[in-house]
Amino acid sequence: MGNMATNTIGSKFGKPDRGWRERLYTIIFEADTAAGRRFDTALLIIIVLSVATVIIDSVGAVRSRDFLALNILEWLFTILFTIEYVVRLLCVKHPLRYALSLFGIIDLISILPTYLAILLPEFHFLIDVRLLRMLRVFRVMKLPRYFDESQILLQALRNSRHKILVFLGVVLIMSVILGTIMYVIEGPENGFTSIPVGMYWSIVTLTTTGYGDIHPKTPMGQLITSCAMLLGYGIIALPTGIVGVELAMTMMKGTPTTRTCTHCLTEGHEADSLFCKHCGEKLEPYQYDAAAASADPFNKLAEFKGRMGLNVHRDPPKK
């Protein structure tokens, strides 16, 4: 009995075993089914409309003219997102685990400002309540998790992070070297009063931004600047190639799905995966709707693999 209680307390975010909670979980969190895609599509439309309302509300002339309509829309969206947040908490075994996850926090942030604007209008540090209400743009952060392609891009960025860190380290070393050289050559009389100022110039030059607030005046300094500008174009292209290669390799590995680990909430497992690629826990049986998947307008992976001559057809595991 004690061991069972310990396991229950130590268990992570979980999927209900049966009943309406299990059906809601399947639709809301992971399923490649017609119902799940209808839910995702409707939620995406509401998110986009909500963000559009925030953008329109920031225009003074429109806000003064249509304040009532915008206020009604805001409360409508807030109520809908509140219902969605509560339903997400209800349809999981451990709601606290979801509430403390990244997307759980984002879901909460997306609805809090509207309520706080009512409770805290008199606080002097809230100079303009609109600044608090503008936090609603956090809703747009929920958009990527509903596109299959985002999982491919996220994995490609994750795979290339070490190469990118090495690249940034090289750029930093080059900035220090160039900044030091320019400090020695140009000197304080030409605006390079210290090595950090020289580093600022080198970063602006290497990124081809070129503010023009500091520029060399000696022939040697101008020659080094020309070389740094040419080097900057190569620096810009390098990380693009790194991420591009990783993106192509990730797309060839396997077709991502909205299948979610019930313990760590990692998405994007393949249809035939048995265990979570992140935490190693056993995955629930994959629930798959072939008609919904074939009708997905965002699913370009099969077409890509077809051009590459790869086998893309995978039957989902039988229940």
Question: Domain boundaries in the chain?
Answer: 13-143, 159-253
User: 13-143 domain in CATH 3.40.50.1110?
Assistant: no
Return the amino acid letter for 291.
A
Closest C-alpha among 29, 14, 54 to residue 260:
29
The two tokens of residue 81 are 């997102």
Whether 159-253 and 13-143 are alike in CATH topology: the answer is no
Helix axes 102-109, 67-90, angle to 10 degrees: 150
φ, ψ dihedrals at 258, nearest 5°? -90, 15
Is-above-0.95 flag for pTM?
no
Q: Which residues pair with 275 in a beta bridge?
A: 282
In tens, the pLDDT along 253-306 reads: 655 566 777 777 676 677 677 888 778 888 877 665 555 445 444 444 444 444
Q: What is the CATH number of domain 159-253?
A: 1.10.287.70
Distance CA 246, CA 256 (A): 15
* Cα Rg, the chain, nearest whole Å: 26
Q: What CA–CA distance (Å, rounded) separates 135 from 206?
A: 34
Q: Which long-range contacts (CB under 8 A, 24 or more apart) does 312-317 make?
A: 312/255, 314/255, 314/270, 314/271, 314/272, 315/271, 316/271, 316/272, 316/286, 316/288, 317/271, 317/272, 317/285, 317/286
Residue-wise pLDDT tens for the chain (319 aa)?
434 332 332 244 566 667 788 888 878 876 567 787 888 888 888 888 888 888 888 788 888 898 899 889 988 998 998 998 999 898 888 888 888 887 788 888 888 877 877 776 654 343 444 455 555 555 556 655 555 666 777 788 888 888 889 988 989 999 999 999 999 999 999 999 999 999 999 999 988 887 888 889 999 999 999 999 998 888 888 888 888 888 788 777 655 566 777 777 676 677 677 888 778 888 877 665 555 445 444 444 444 444 444 444 444 445 4
Cα angle: 230, vertex 238, 209; to 5 degrees: 45
